[in-house]
Amino acid sequence: MSVQDKDRIPAFETTANGLPRVVSVASDVTHRFSKPVREFVRLIAGYGIEGDAHAGAMVQHRYLAKRNASLPNLRQVHLIQAELFDALGLEGYAVHAGALGENITTRGVDLLALPLGTQLRLGATAIIELTGLRVPCSYIDKFKLGLKRKMIIRGADGPPYRAGVMAVVIASGEVKPGDPVNVTFQQARGSRYPRCHNYSTDNA
């Protein structure tokens, strides 16, 4: 098995109802690496997740906000596919939903393969638009030593990272585990695998 093959996330399974779905949601009012799991989260258009430290129209990352507080907030919502946790478990890393700071964990949709500008409808009314990939940084190794390198895909014909994707909220609504995920493919803008330039991966 090649390095490229080992770094790939396993094939996306069909969920119980045959559709992609939300499996977990999380938020935290403070800037910490991991986020506690919630029964539901409320997404607010142009703002993010109610009660989450990264919500806001302008940049909320503390380091970048100090440099330029007028930057738009492209990381209102962070999503990770549960298939990543399955793969990491096989590699000896037990990682649960919310542990990497993501707000929404999905199953049955390849988030990393979706182009920039793709919109996802979560639950009945919430809609988000993808803004880029999450870029791994050293905070991941502080969480679990050696995990950062597992977030980087070397030599693969595809996204360079597998630490999830970032998004902004287009339409408001509540999202909870079990909600369907409906993908609307938009015309890609720029690189197919853009870095979310607004953020590194620490949840500062």
pLDDT of the residue at 18: 65
pLDDT for position 184: 84
Residue 30 pLDDT more than 80? Answer: yes
Model confidence over 86-109: pLDDT tens digits? Answer: 888 888 888 889 888 899 999 999
Share of the chain above pLDDT 70, in %: 72
Residue 141 has pLDDT above 70, yes or no: no
Q: Which domains does the chain have, with CATH numbers?
A: 3-184 (2.40.33.20)
> For position 91, what pLDDT does the model report?
83
Nearest one of 78, 92, 90, 99 to 35, comparing CA atoms? 99
Residues 6+ apart with CB under 8 A from 16: none
Nearest residue to 75 (alpha-carbon basis) of 138, 31, 20, 141:
31
Query: Model pTM greater than 0.85?
Result: no
Say which amino acid occupies 73: N
HEC letters along the chain = CCHHHHHCCCCCCCCCCCCCEEEEEECCCCCCCCCCEECCEEEECCCEECCCCCCCCECCCHHHHHHCCCCECCCCEEEEEHHHHHHHHHCCCCCCCCCCCCCEEEECCCHHHCCCCCEEEECCCEEEEEEEECCCCCHHHHHCCCHHHHCECCCCCCCCECCCEEEEEEECEEECCCCEEEEECCCCCCCCCCECCCCCCCCC
pLDDT of 33 reads 83
